[in-house]
C-alpha cells in the first residue's frame, strides 16, 4: 500500500482535497500547467523560490494523484514535459475561488493593521 502522503486523518472531504492541492507549490504549479504544457526547467524558472528537489517532489505527487501527466522524451539532452489533466482542469474553478478569497482576506488584514495604531481603544480605561 502506498502511504502516498498525508492520507488526511480527519475523514473530512475538504481536507482530502487540500491534501491533493495543498502542497506549498502545488497551486502555483497547477496554475502554470493549466496555461499549457511546460518542461521542468520552465517550471523551475517560473517558480524560482521552490527548490528543484521540492519541485520534483510535488510534481510526482500531483502525477500520482492524476492531476498532471509526465512525458519523457528519450533524447540527449533529456526533455520532460508536464501537462495538466482533465482532473486538474476540474479544480481550476476552486483554485480561482481560493485565490480570490485569499486576496480579499489579505486586503482586509492590511486595512486592520493600518487601523490599529490610530485607535488604541483598549487604553481608554487602562
Partner DNA sequence: CAGAATCCTCGCGGATACTG
Partner DNA sequence: CAGTATCCGCGAGGATTCTG
- Smallest gap, in angstroms, from Cβ of residue 104 to DNA? 22
Interaction of residue 108 with a copy of itself, rule CB under 8 A? yes
- Rounded to 5 degrees, what angle do the CA atoms 11, 17, 20 make? 115
Interaction of residue 98 with a copy of itself, rule CB under 8 A? yes
| Cell matching residue 66 | 492524476
Torsion 97-47-30-14 (CA) sign: negative
Choosing from 52, 71, 90, 110, the residue that interacts with a copy of itself (CB under 8 A) is: 90
Choosing from 3, 13, 72, 76, the residue that interacts with a copy of itself (CB under 8 A) is: 13
Question: Which residue intervals of the chain are DSSP H helices?
Answer: 13-21, 26-34, 40-46, 52-64, 86-115
Neighbours of 64 (CB within 10 A): 13
Interaction of residue 35 with a copy of itself, rule CB under 8 A? no
Interacting residues toward a copy of itself by CB under 8 A: 8-10, 12-18, 20-22, 24-25, 27-28, 47, 49-50, 65-66, 87, 90-91, 93-95, 97-106, 108, 112
Amino acid at each position: 500500500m502506498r502511504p502516498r502522503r498525508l492520507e488526511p486523518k480527519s475523514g473530512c472531504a475538504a481536507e482530502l482535497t487540500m491534501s491533493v492541492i495543498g502542497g506549498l507549490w502545488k497551486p502555483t504549479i497547477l496554475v502554470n500547467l493549466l496555461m499549457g504544457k511546460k518542461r521542468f526547467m520552465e517550471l523551475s524558472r517560473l517558480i524560482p523560490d521552490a527548490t528543484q528537489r521540492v519541485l520534483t517532489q510535488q510534481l510526482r505527487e500531483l502525477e500520482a494523484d492524476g492531476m498532471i501527466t509526465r512525458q519523457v522524451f528519450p533524447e540527449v539532452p533529456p526533455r520532460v514535459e508536464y501537462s495538466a489533466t482533465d482532473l486538474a482542469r476540474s479544480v481550476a474553478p476552486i483554485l480561482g475561488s481560493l485565490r480570490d478569497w485569499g486576496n480579499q482576506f489579505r486586503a482586509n488584514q492590511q486595512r486592520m493593521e493600518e487601523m490599529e495604531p490610530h485607535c488604541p481603544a483598549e487604553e481608554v480605561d487602562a
